[in-house]
Amino acid sequence: MIQKEIGSGLTLKGSIKLTMDFSSQKSAKDALLAMKKEVGESKRFSSKIKIEGKKMIIMINGEDPVSLRATVNSYLRYLSLVNDLEK
């Protein structure tokens, strides 16, 4: 979802949902523990991770496109590493 506000200035906010399937719920929980330091928020973004069965779901909200993209890229790097380790 992308939200645009027009007023005294232009603000673009957005959110992205990433989902990754794991071979087991234990693998998903182990990955969550490894990525736990990435979860949180700052002035420009917030993120939450939850496990549903064998799936990891990551919700990212950004106050601007740059922070959203940077946060998504960070999570994608971690997910790529976790995926490589799970093979």
Tell me the pTM. 0.79
Show the 3-state SS of 7-67. CCCEEEEEEEEEEEECCCHHHHHHHHHHHHHHCEECCCEEEEEEEECCEEEEEEEECCHHH
Q: What is the pLDDT of residues 70-79, one digit of tens each?
A: 999 988 998 8
**What CATH number should be reported for the domain whose range is 2-86?**
3.30.310.50
Q: What is the pLDDT of residues 24-59, one digit of tens each?
A: 999 999 989 888 876 777 888 888 999 999 999 999
